[in-house]
Amino acid sequence: MNTSAQSPGKLGAAGRGCLAIAGVLLLLGIILGGCGVSQYNALVGAQKEVEGRWADIDNMYKRRFDLIPNLVETVKGAANFEKSTLEAVTEARASVGRMQLPPGLPTDPAALDAYIRAQQSLSGALGRLFAVAESYPELKATQNFLSLQDQIEGTENRIAVARTDYIAAAQKFNTLRARFPTVLFATLFNFREAAQFQATPEERAAPKVEFDFKNEKKQG
């Protein structure tokens, strides 16, 4: 009789213990869930910032790419313009066309490096073309050439600014992604590290190519 009389009390204590444990687990779940949502949202925001900065770079590269055919046709009209300089621009542009990256945020460092190198080669070829053009007064007097030169040089400046902004945004995102406990959510939701590149001081400004014409003779 005594055993049966104590059973309800014992069951009541066990039930209260289970409820307490369930309450603690629920509270931990709410805390962890809130932390997860916060970390996830932070990753999304940082990633979107990097994507935006990359889109700025890509748009400027595409703008420059589209301006070059008109520039080439304009320069072709100048008498005896250096053929090799013009060909270098055309070949560099074709190389850029072959090096297009997949849409979205670049995550392959090797592919990004190859793409940036191709773009830098095009910048160098354009710089040499504008330097050579200084010795062709009739070309420099052409309004279409001057307009294209101004647009391309302005685009180069905007590319330099956009690249600096991308580097800062990518560093911020990659640092956030590597921190604990954010790295757990980054791995869980497949947030891949943003590909990074380094900007040299020369790359932070539009390329300026010096060319010595004193010892150069135009080919007749």
Residues 56, 54: Cα–Cα separation, whole Å: 5
Contact at 8 Å (CB) between 148 and 67? yes
* Neighbour-count burial of 172, counting CB atoms closer than 10 A to its CB (0-12 exposed, 13-18 middle, 19+ buried): middle
Tally of helices (H runs) and strands (E runs) in the chain:
6, 0
pTM of the complete model beyond 0.75: no
- Nearest residue to 50 (alpha-carbon basis) of 168, 159, 148: 168
Contacts of 127 (CB under 8 A, 6+ apart): 207, 208, 209
| Share in percent of the chain as helix, strand, coil (round to 5) | 75, 0, 25
pLDDT tens across the length of the chain (220 residues): 454 444 455 546 666 666 656 655 555 555 455 566 788 889 999 999 999 999 999 999 999 999 999 999 999 888 788 889 999 999 999 999 998 888 788 888 899 999 999 999 999 999 999 999 999 998 888 999 999 999 999 999 999 999 999 999 999 999 999 988 888 888 888 899 999 876 555 444 444 433 333 344 343 3
Say whether 202 sits in a helix, a strand or coil: helix
Write down the residue that tokens 């940036």 correspond to.
Answer: 116
Structure tokens, 125: 């070829």
Query: Cβ–Cβ contacts within 10 Å for residue 213, how many?
Result: 11
Gyration radius of the chain over CA positions: 30
Cα-Cα-Cα-Cα dihedral sign, residues 61, 64, 66, 69: negative
Determine the Cα–Cα distance for residues 71 and 62; give it in Å rounded to an integer: 15
Give backbone dihedrals phi and psi of 93, rounded to 5 degrees, phi first.
-65, -40
* Residue 185 parent element (H or E): helix 182-188
Q: Domain ranges for the chain, please list them.
A: 17-204
Assess if CATH 2.60.40.10 describes domain 17-204: no
Distance between alpha carbon 211 and the CA centroid of its chain, in Å? 31
From 219, 220, 173, 217, select the one nearest 196 (Cα to Cα). 173
